[in-house]
Amino acid sequence: MNNLVEKALNSLNTLNKSSLHPTDEDRIKVTLKALHKNEVEINLNELESWLIENNWQKKPIKSIVTWAEAITSGGRVQIKHKQMAPTEKEVWERINA
């Protein structure tokens, strides 16, 4: 797995792994978008394996992989609480710190 992807996922590892709050969903989506925008490859199989290995539950895993698939294929995901979500720039700067 790409080091930047792993670092980004580790930054999300503090979230509730069994059910996602809408603001957590937005944080994940923005993180995935930041990676994609900066041309970091997100391997969906590796992503799913990492989530399983890090004790995420089935429902959040399915959602995260679905969002990643949409983003990497050029699709869109909706950020519901933009005022509470970090920006892609903030996420990218944190990943690269």
Residue showing tokens 């980004």:
8
Whether 97 has a pLDDT exceeding 90, the answer reads no
For the segment 35-68, what is each residue's pLDDT rounded down to a tens digit? Answer: 999 999 999 999 999 999 999 999 999 999 999 9
pTM of the model as a whole? 0.94
pLDDT at res. 67: 98
Confidence at residue 41, expressed as pLDDT on a 0 to 100 scale: 95
Predicted pLDDT of residue 26 = 97
Distances (CA, A) of 30 to 15, 43, 46, 53, 62: 14, 17, 19, 22, 17
Query: CA 91, CA 96: separation in Å to the nearest integer?
Result: 9
